[in-house]
C-alpha cells in the first residue's frame, strides 16, 4: 500500500518546536495508528531513527506519527515523557481528521523510547506527564490500546548498574544527563511500577528482543515480560536469535528484521479487529 508523509509541529513546550512526521496510508480509513518514540540513550537521535519501521507500518496500512521530543540538555525526566503523552493526546484529538479509529491508537518505542512510551502507557493520566500541556488537550485521551516495545530499557536502575560495572561510558553519561537523580531513576522504572502494582493500565504488549543484546543488562526484557504477565497484562515476548540491540533499525533488510516487522504488523492487526 502506498502512503504519504507530512511534517508538522505538534507541540511547543517552553518555546521549543517539536516536529512529528505523519505517515498516512492511501485511502480513507478507518486506520489503526501508532505514536513512535525513537531511542538514543534518552539523549540523542531523532524521529528519523525509526524511519524504516515507520515506513513498513505505513505500507501495511497503519498510520504512524513519528516523534521528536525534548532531550537533555533542553529537558530531563519527566518532561520528555510528557511530550510523548502530549503526542498521544494530539493523535486522539485529530483522529477524525486523518481517518483514524481512536480505539485503534497504539504506540511503538525502541530502546529508551520504549522506556518512555511505556511510562506514559502505564500511567497515562499521571500529573508528571501533563507538564507543559496546553488547555486544548485537556479533553483528549492519553491512553493507548496496545504497545510494541523493541529492546526497551524497562529497568533503568539495573541498566545503570550494568553500565557502570562494564565501563559503558556513553551510557553512564546518558543516564546521568537524563535522570536528575538515582531516586527518580527508580521512580521512572516500568519494571518497578508494574511489580509494585502502580500501573493504572496494562495495555496488550509485544516485546521484541534480540538474544545477543549486550546493551541491556542480562535478562531485563525477560523479567519485565514475566512481571507484566504476573500482574495480569497481556504480554507477548518474541526472541530473535543472535540479534543485537537496535537490530531492526540498524539492519532492516535482514531476514530477522523483516520477520520482526511482520510480527509487529500482525500484532497490531490482532489488536484492531
Cell of 217: 543488562
CA angle 65, 101, 83 (to 5 degrees): 35
Residue 128's pLDDT band (cuts 50, 70, 90): very high
One-character DSSP codes across 21-85: EEEEESSS--EEEEEEE--STTTS--TTTTHHHHHHHHHTT-EEEEE----TTT--TTHHHHHHH
Distance CA 223, CA 158 (A): 11
**Domain count within the chain:** 1
Closest CA to 81 of 207, 6, 178, 161: 178
112 φ, ψ to 5°?
-65, -25
pLDDT tens, residue by residue, 129-184: 999 999 989 899 999 999 999 999 999 999 999 999 999 999 999 999 999 999 99
Weakest mean pLDDT among 55-64, 132-141, 186-195, 237-246: 132-141
Closest CA to 69 of 82, 85, 54, 80: 80
Cell of 79: 518532561
**CATH number of domain containing 170:** 3.40.50.1820
Burial class of residue 49, CB neighbours in 10 A (0-12, 13-18, 19+)? buried
Domain with 61 in it: 3-271
Cell of 14: 517552553
pLDDT tens, residue by residue, 189-239: 999 999 999 999 999 999 999 999 999 999 999 999 999 999 999 999 999
pLDDT value of residue 273? 80
CA angle 33, 205, 119 (to 5 degrees): 85
pLDDT value of residue 138? 84
21 φ, ψ to 5°?
-100, 125
Is the pLDDT reported for residue 105 higher than 90?
yes
Q: Dihedral sign for Cα 58, 272, 252, 209, please.
A: positive
pTM of model > 0.85: yes
Amino acid at each position: 500500500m502506498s502512503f504519504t508523509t507530512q511534517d508538522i509541529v505538534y507541540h511547543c513546550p517552553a518555546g521549543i518546536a517539536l516536529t512529528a512526521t505523519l505517515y498516512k496510508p492511501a485511502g480513507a480509513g478507518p486506520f489503526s495508528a501508532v505514536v513512535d518514540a525513537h531511542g538514543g540513550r534518552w539523549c540523542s537521535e531523532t524521529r528519523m531513527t525509526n524511519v524504516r519501521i515507520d515506513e513498513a507500518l505505513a505500507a501495511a496500512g497503519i498510520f504512524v506519527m513519528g516523534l521528536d521530543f525534548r532531550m537533555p540538555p533542553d529537558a530531563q525526566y519527566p518532561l520528555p515523557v510528557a511530550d510523548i503523552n502530549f503526542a498521544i493526546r494530539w493523535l486522539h484529538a485529530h483522529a477524525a481528521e486523518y481517518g483514524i479509529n481512536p480505539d485503534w491508537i497504539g504506540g511503538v518505542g525502541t530502546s529508551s523510547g520504549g522506556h518512555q512510551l511505556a511510562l506514559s502507557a502505564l500511567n497515562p493520566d499521571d500529573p508528571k506527564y501533563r507538564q507543559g500541556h496546553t488547555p486544548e488537550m485537556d479533553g483528549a485521551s492519553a491512553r493507548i490500546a496496545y504497545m510494541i516495545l523493541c529492546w526497551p530499557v524497562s529497568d533503568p536502575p539495573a541498566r545503570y548498574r550494568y553500565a557502570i560495572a562494564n565501563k559503558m561510558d556513553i551510557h553512564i553519561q546518558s543516564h546521568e544527563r537524563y535522570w536528575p537523580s538515582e531516586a527518580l531513576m527508580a521512580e521512572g522504572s516500568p519494571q518497578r511500577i508494574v511489580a509494585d502494582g502502580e500501573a493504572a493500565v496494562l495495555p496488550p504488549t509485544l516485546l521484541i528482543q534480540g538474544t545477543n543484546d549486550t546493551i541491556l543488562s542480562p535478562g531485563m526484557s525477560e523479567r519485565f515480560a514475566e512481571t507484566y504477565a504476573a500482574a495480569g497484562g497481556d504480554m507477548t515476548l518474541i526472541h530473535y536469535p543472535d540479534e543485537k540491540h537496535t537490530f531492526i533499525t540498524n539492519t532492516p533488510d535482514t531476514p530477522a528484521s523483516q520477520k520482526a516487522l511482520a510480527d509487529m504488523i500482525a500484532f497490531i492487526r490482532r489488536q484492531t479487529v
